[in-house]
Amino acid sequence: MLVQHAQDTTKHIVLINPNTSQATTAMMTDIARSVLPANITVEGVTAASGVPMILDDRQLAASAAGVVEMGLAATRFCNGIIISAFGDPGIEQLRDLTDVPVVGICEASMLEASAHGRRFGIATVTPDLVDGFARKAEGLGLGQLFTGTRLTNGDPQKLAADPERLQAELAFAVEQAFDLDGAEAVIIGGGPLGQAALELGRRFSRPVIAPITAAVTSLLLQLKATSATSNLSS
C-alpha cells in the first residue's frame, strides 16, 4: 500500500532593515506579518552598523554591503527576502548571489503603482533621495509613467518620530501628487513610513501604495510560482 506523507508547507521569509533602528524593524516586520498567510512566518533583521534612518544616496549606497551580508546569512534558512529600505540597496548583488527570491520595497511598490499603465508619484520625507527614485523608475522602464516626488516639510527624523504630524504632512504631499501632478496612484516612499502608509491608504479613496505590503504581495506571488514549478518537476 502506498503511504503518502504530508509535506510541511510552512515557509519562512526574512525582512531586512538596512537602518540600525530596532524599533523600525519591529514595526515593518509587524506590517509584513499582518498580511502574510498563516503558513508563512517572517523575521526581521537589523543592520549592525550605519544610520537609524537613511537620508541620502551616500548612506543608501553604504548600506548595500550590510544588506548582502544579512541576505546571504538568511538564505541558509529562509524561502524569500524583503529589502525594506526605499531604494532597494544591494538588491541586484544579492539576486546574483542567491536563488532565493529577493524583493525590494521600492521596486515592488513602483510595479504595483504602475499596474495597467497608471501614472504614479511618490510622497516622502527625504529630499536627498529624490533623484534616486527617478533613476529607479527609469531603470524599471516606468519613467514615462512617473509623475515625480512630493516632499513633506520639516526634518525627516523628527517627522518620523511624530506619527500625527508625519501623517498630516504626507497626506498633503499625497494630495499634491494627485491634484497637481496628475498621479493616479501615490507611493508612500520609505520603510520607516510604513505605518503612516497604511493609515493613508485607508484615508484616501484613490490608490495610496504601502511599499511593505506591496513587497509582501510580490514575494508571495514569486513563492507561489516557485512552488508550482517545483511540483511540476517532482
pLDDT digits (tens, 9 = 90+) for 78-102: 999 999 999 999 999 999 999 999 9
Q: Please state the rounded mean pLDDT for residues 65-88.
A: 97
Within its chain, how far is the Cα of 194 from the centroid?
9
Residues near 156 by Cβ (< 8 Å), separated by ≥ 6?
53, 55, 125, 126
At residue 231, the pLDDT reads 52
In residues, how long is the chain? 234
Would you identify the CATH topology of the domain 11-105+213-233? Rossmann fold (3.40.50)
The pTM is what?
0.92
Cell of 15: 525582512
Per-residue pLDDT reduced to its tens digit, 165-222? 999 999 999 999 999 999 999 999 999 999 999 999 999 999 999 999 999 999 999 9
φ, ψ dihedrals at 206, nearest 5°: -90, 160
Strand 185-188, strand 11-17: pairing:
unpaired
Q: Residue 1: which pLDDT band, with cuts at 50, 70 and 90?
A: very low
| Nearest of 232, 10, 12, 24 to residue 101 by alpha carbon | 12
Going from N- to C-terminal start, the domains of the chain cover 11-105+213-233, 107-211
Kindly list the strands in the beta sheet with 120-124, ordered across the sheet, starting from the edge strand earlier in the chain. 146-151, 120-124, 185-188, 208-209
pLDDT at 228: 61
Establish how many alpha carbons lie within 13 A of residue 43's alpha carbon, considering only the half-sphere containing its beta carbon: 13
- Tell me the backbone φ, ψ of residue 105, rounded to 5 degrees: -70, -30
Class at the top of the CATH hierarchy for domain 107-211: alpha beta
